[in-house]
Amino acid sequence: MKYFILVFLLIILSLFVYRKLTKPETLNIAGIELSLEKPWEKFNDSDESKIGNLIRAYHFDEGEKRFKKLIGGDSFLIACLKKDKSWNFYYYYYGPGTYTILGFTEEAEKEITPPNE
């Protein structure tokens, strides 16, 4: 009987690990599940002028390197590498009549996989 229970627990644990490893990366923002499966891209000149200006306007830390990840429509996840090699993440989207950028809490930032430089 104890072997049956041990095998049963190992199967349950294996299924949990398999599901966790194969589940697509998502982030919950304001009750909306956003997919983070697309790859990170470096900012181009257009991003620097459009998104970079908005980052500076909100007085967020720009960082030394900036990356974006399309998460739907005109919505992006932005990653900024700081001098101390830590990351800041922002959510860029089209809000009520204008583009808006929001910062994440430390807890939410821990759930995001940063870009591979």
> Does position 115 have pLDDT exceeding 80, yes or no?
yes
| Per-residue pLDDT tens over the stretch 2-40 | 888 888 888 888 887 777 666 656 666 655 666 677 788
Tokens 């204008």 belong to residue: 98
User: What range does the domain containing 48 cover?
Assistant: 26-110
Amino acid identity of residue 103, one-letter, is G
Residue 72's pLDDT band, with cuts at 50, 70 and 90, is: confident
The mean pLDDT of the chain is 80
Residue 115 belongs to a domain: no
Share of the chain above pLDDT 70, in %: 84
Backbone angles phi, psi at 10, to 5 degrees: -65, -40
Question: Does residue 106 sit within a domain?
Answer: yes
On whether residue 1 sits in a domain, the answer given is: no
The answer as to whether 87 is a domain residue is: yes
Position 8 in a domain: no
Residues 6+ apart with CB under 8 A from 67: 40, 41, 42, 43, 78, 79, 80, 81, 115
In a domain, 66, yes or no: yes
The answer to whether position 99 is within a domain reads: yes
Residue 13 lies inside a defined structural domain of this protein: no
Give DSSP secondary structure letters for 44-91.
Answer: -HHHHHHHHHHHHHTT----SEEEEEEEETTEEEEEEE-TTS-EEEEE
Q: Structurally, how many domains does the chain consist of?
A: 1
